[in-house]
Amino acid sequence: MKSSIALYQALISIDVEETRAAAVVDALESDMQTQLATKADLDKLELKLS
């Protein structure tokens, strides 16, 4: 959440429209929740591979 706010503020500071900045943040958050592996995911994978 904190990084999302920082990203949004950084985009606004370089004159990106608020709606576009919000869209970028939303897209990034969505990808982070669906595409990245968590530590728990990696631990499960390690157990399966052992």
Using 50, 70 and 90 to split pLDDT, how confident is the model at 2? Answer: confident
- Rounded Cα distance between 29 and 6, Å, is 13
| pLDDT higher than threshold 80 for residue 1 | no
Runs of H (alpha helix) within the chain: 2-13, 18-35, 39-49
The mean per-residue pLDDT over the stretch 25-36 comes to: 94
Whether the CA torsion 39, 40, 42, 46 is positive or negative: it is positive
The mean per-residue pLDDT over the stretch 13-30 comes to: 97
pLDDT (0 to 100) of residue 47: 96
* Residues 31 and 25 sit within 8 Å (Cβ to Cβ): no
